[in-house]
Structure 1
Amino acid sequence: MRVRDQGELVAAIPAMLGFHPRESLVLMATGGQSGRRLGLTLRVDLPPPEIAAYAEHAEVVAASAVRGLLLDDPAGAVAAVLAPSTGDPPSLPHRRLAGLVAQALAEREVDVHALLWAESTTGGARWACYEPCGCWGLVPDPAATEFVVATVAEGRVVHPDRDALERLVAPADPGALRRREELLLRSDAGGAPGDTGAAALDTAIADAAAGRLTLSDTRVVALASALGIPAVQAAALQRSTGPRAVAAEQLWAALARETPDPEAAVPAALLAVSALLRGDGALANVALGRAERAWPGHLLAGVLRTAAEAGLRPDEVREWLREGLTMEPAPAPRATRRGRRSA
């Protein structure tokens, strides 16, 4: 699929990130044989323009973003500032930041294909070039662009904003979580046998694939206990790369919401694996944040955080799985859960 102009580049950003960013600097790496194949796409918050130390903040933001983009060893790059502006023609905001990004990329011999401003990534939003060409236009309807249509058809979900990603893993009803916590406290510490746990996992994935997944207290507790078994964890990682990977990802997200802490760290980490296998760094970071809050120091979450920050490609993550990447071998101590509940 080809992106034909600057407006289509802006429209493509949500499809690359997985959500519509706001008040953001977005960098898109290009490479491949042509040097123009879209690769790593990253986003950072813009420095508040009203602060006295804006210049210093802009330097930090530009340096951090370019350093992250270089992990993809790009031949070129596209930079876009997404922020509201006024006037007709608009007064382009964050010129200093845009200049710093262009300078940092040039110093590293990375061609800047486009240096853009857009007020948003939605259809009809205005965009313009910071460069002397003075190009400007309107962002096309993403649903009418070949690139975005093809990306969504492949199963990519584009959320309205980053908060929507957070809601995918946000803890569910506190009352339900308390009930399940009590059930986990009373359950057998050893959990179900590995083959029984794997079977329960497969049944839940099949239900997710058929659109009939329901998570009662009993089922959540059974799945959480099963995922505390190393053999079931290994099976879960395999399901994240198999023919039902999409359904498995749906199950991990649901369990990340419906499982009490600290057990929620396991499905949240599995969700991060699924996201990294699709190249969805935004969802991976949100899922890892959920895992780290649920279980500080969780082994797999820590390993995956390193992978996410290193910008590993999906094929490299798959290689990790083939080499036997494993999770924390034992469930969280019951004393830890009791301590958190009484705190």
Structure 2
Amino acid sequence: MPPTPASTTTIVASLPALLGFIPEDSLVLITALTNDDGSVTTGPLARIDLTRITGHADDCARHVNRQCGNLPVFCVIGIVVRTVDEDNADGESLPQRTDVDSLIEQLAEHGFTDVDVVHVPAVAEGARWRSYRDADRTGVLPDPAATAAAAAAVAAGHTIAASRDDLAARFTPAPENLRARLQPHITDAVASAAIDESWHLTAHLRLARADAAISAATHGELPTDDSDVADLAATFATLSFRDALLAVPDDATRLAAENLVLHLWRHSCDPVAGQLAIVIAVHAYLRGSGTVARIALENADPQQPMTLLLSTVLDHAVAPSEARHVIENASADARRTLLSEPAIDQA
């Protein structure tokens, strides 16, 4: 049984807050889950470029099944976002109907029988959505910025960009000449960080500098001095220090750490930049911004175990709440190891 028209309207209007950007030319698949108390909550979602839908409905259905095949799925709702001529946007002329029908059939083969797909020309106030399956199911969107989901996203410090491209534009490196000037300094700092791993006193000082930089970033203060940028880039790119710094107290601090490391990433070259992108992805994931996490992973070292692990976690829509304690415990262990005074052999 599909959601009511009112709840469908709310879901469609909430897409920018759920995704972190306003989708265009997209298919968004959202699952609704039944909880033990009988309530229904939003489950895993996926956004797919419309250009990838034609002829690949089976791939889309497999992706949904991989995300939530073991979850108590109440229903699946798909939203096709594509501009059309409103005068001709009746139930029979909705865009990519053949692809949508094929997707519904493929989802049914995986056991998802309660499915509705709707079309909306744009996720904007006043836009009308229409169902592919029932011509009588329709509604008009309110202002997406006025939804409860948008208010919650803003309160959590999440960015809602005009498009995915705008969100990805945050990952624009600094000018090449600036990065080239900093590269030897960062290389030297990485060598120093490797030495500091073995000495608990210098490890303490290095972690203290990074902790202070994260604290400053909560107030919008980012390092500008070359030596500070190089020192911090090396710290966050060194595995043991990186792990020790992943545990932070709340989402506001996670966002600050993410912004700090993104600033360092812009000023770094590979392989350091590829390591820093992993840190950005982890913080973005833990604060609930899967889109930013995926964009960060596009810039990360693909051979690193954390890159592969986080990609798998995102593909299977593992909730941050389920992974947070594992990452925080591992981070606390890494910090203890770095700060432990080595045993002294007795003659």
Structure 1 residue 41 and structure 2 residue 32: aligned?
A: no
Structure-2 residue corresponding to 1:161: 163
Structure 1 residue 116 and structure 2 residue 118: aligned?
A: yes
Counterpart among 24, 31, 35 of residue 33 in structure 2: 31
What does the per-residue CA deviation read over 1:269-312, in whole Å, with 9 as the maximum and x for residues that have no partner?
111111221332211111111113xxx41232222222222322
Change beyond 3 A, Cα 1:274–1:240: farther
Q: Quote the offset at 1:16 in angstroms.
A: 0.9
Change beyond 3 A, Cα 1:241–1:307: farther
Counterpart among 283, 302, 305 of residue 299 in structure 1: 305
1: CA distance between counterparts of 2:52 and 2:113?
A: 27
Structure-2 residue corresponding to 1:331: none
Structure-2 residue corresponding to 1:256: 265
Greater alpha carbon shift after TM alignment, 122-131 vs 11-20: 122-131
Is the 1:226–1:232 contact (alpha carbons within 8 Å) kept by the matching residues of 2? yes
Greater alpha carbon shift after TM alignment, 102-111 vs 195-204: 102-111
Is the 1:276–1:284 contact (alpha carbons within 8 Å) kept by the matching residues of 2? yes
Q: Aligned runs of 1:32-181 on 2, under 5 Å?
A: 32-33=34-35, 34=38, 36-47=40-51, 54=54, 57-71=55-69, 73=71, 74-90=73-89, 91-112=93-114, 114-181=116-183
Q: Quote the offset at 1:183 in angstroms.
A: 1.7
Structure-2 residue corresponding to 1:210: 219
Structure 2 SS opposite 1:291? coil
What does the per-residue CA deviation read over 1:175-234, in whole Å, with 9 as the maximum and x for residues that have no partner?
111111122344572325321221111121111111222333222101122224444222
RMSD: 2.7
Greater alpha carbon shift after TM alignment, 67-76 vs 152-161: 67-76
Change beyond 3 A, Cα 1:157–1:112: farther
Structure 1 SS opposite 2:150? helix
Amino acid corresponding to residue 164 of structure 1 in structure 2: D
Amino acid corresponding to residue 116 of structure 1 in structure 2: V
Change beyond 3 A, Cα 1:72–1:245: farther
Structure 2 SS opposite 1:232? helix
Counterpart among 239, 244, 253 of residue 248 in structure 2: 239
Change beyond 3 A, Cα 1:147–1:281: closer
Largest Rg, 1 or 2: 2
Structure-1 residue corresponding to 2:278: 269
Q: Aligned runs of 1:192-211 on 2, under 5 Å?
A: 192=196, 193-211=202-220
Q: Quote the offset at 1:146 in angstroms.
A: 3.0
Change beyond 3 A, Cα 1:99–1:65: farther
2: CA distance between counterparts of 1:234 and 1:62?
A: 34
Is the 1:172–1:257 contact (alpha carbons within 8 Å) kept by the matching residues of 2? yes
1: CA distance between counterparts of 2:11 and 2:113?
A: 16
Q: Quote the offset at 1:82 in angstroms.
A: 1.0
Change beyond 3 A, Cα 1:150–1:185: closer
Structure 1 residue 309 and structure 2 residue 315: aligned?
A: yes
Structure 1 residue 283 and structure 2 residue 285: aligned?
A: no
Structure-2 residue corresponding to 1:9: 11
Which 5+ residue runs of structure 2 have no aligned equivalent? 197-201, 335-347
- Percent of paired sites with the same residue: 28
Amino acid corresponding to residue 315 of structure 1 in structure 2: S
Q: Quote the offset at 1:143 in angstroms.
A: 2.2
Q: TM-score, normalised by structure 2?
A: 0.81
Aligned length: 317
Which 5+ residue runs of structure 1 have no aligned equivalent? 328-343
Is the 2:16–2:23 contact (alpha carbons within 8 Å) kept by the matching residues of 1? yes
Greater alpha carbon shift after TM alignment, 79-88 vs 315-324: 315-324
1: CA distance between counterparts of 2:5 and 2:118?
A: 15
Change beyond 3 A, Cα 1:72–1:21: farther
Q: Quote the offset at 1:111 in angstroms.
A: 4.9
What does the per-residue CA deviation read over 1:7-53, in whole Å, with 9 as the maximum and x for residues that have no partner?
3221111111111111111011111323631121111111379xxxx
1: CA distance between counterparts of 2:190 and 2:170?
A: 30
Q: Quote the offset at 1:66 in angstroms.
A: 2.8
1: CA distance between counterparts of 2:65 and 2:266?
A: 33
Is the 2:214–2:257 contact (alpha carbons within 8 Å) kept by the matching residues of 1? yes
Is the 2:5–2:137 contact (alpha carbons within 8 Å) kept by the matching residues of 1? no
2: CA distance between counterparts of 1:185 and 1:266?
A: 13
Q: TM-score, normalised by structure 1?
A: 0.82
Amino acid corresponding to residue 321 of structure 2 in structure 1: D
